[in-house]
Amino acid sequence: MGKKHIIETNQEEAVKEQEKIDKTVGKEVKVKSTTVGVQEGKIYVSSSYNNTIVTLTNSKGQVLAWKSAGAVGFKGTKKSTSFAASKVAETIANACKKMGIERVSVLIRGIGAGRESAVRSLVAQGLNVVSIKDVTPIPHNGCRPKKTRRV
C-alpha cells in the first residue's frame, strides 16, 4: 500500500470555502424574503452509484439550494461514498439553518451508498425531520422483450 494522501486545508482555503457557501446561501435568502416565513421544506436525496445530490426546496417544490458530492470537493470514486453523502447533507443543513427552515420532510431516490448516511447527518445537525419517504422509481412490468429470433 502506498502513502495515504490526506487533504489538509489551511485557514485561507477554509475561509474562501465558507465565503463561497455564504454567497450561494445569500442568494437563497432572497428567495426566502419573497416567500414570507419559510419554516418548512423538503429535502430530496438522490443517491446513485456515482454521486449523491441533495436538494433543498420549499413546500411548493421551488429549489432553494442544492449540493452534490462533487460540489463539496470529492472527486472520482470518493463521490459515491457514504462519508461524502454525509458531508453534502451537512452543508444543506447549514443552509437550512441560515434560511430559518426548521421542519423538513426527506424524500430519498436511488440505490447508492449515501442514502442512510445523508438522513442520519441531517438529523444529527439538529433539523426536525418530519417524514422520510422512499421515492425510488420501480418498474412494474419492465420493457417489452425483444421478439424471438427466426433462423
Q: Structural domains in the chain?
A: 39-134 (3.30.420.80)
Does residue 26 surpass a pLDDT of 60? no
| pLDDT (mean) for 125-135 | 93
pTM higher than 0.75 for the full model? Answer: no
What was the pLDDT predicted at 65?
93
Number of Cα atoms under 13 Å in the Cβ half of residue 108: 20
* Per-residue cell: 82: 457514504
More confident residue, 12 or 74: 74
Tens-place pLDDT, residues 84-116: 999 999 999 999 999 899 899 999 999 988 899
Q: With beta carbons less than 8 A apart as the criterion, state whether 21 and 91 touch.
A: yes
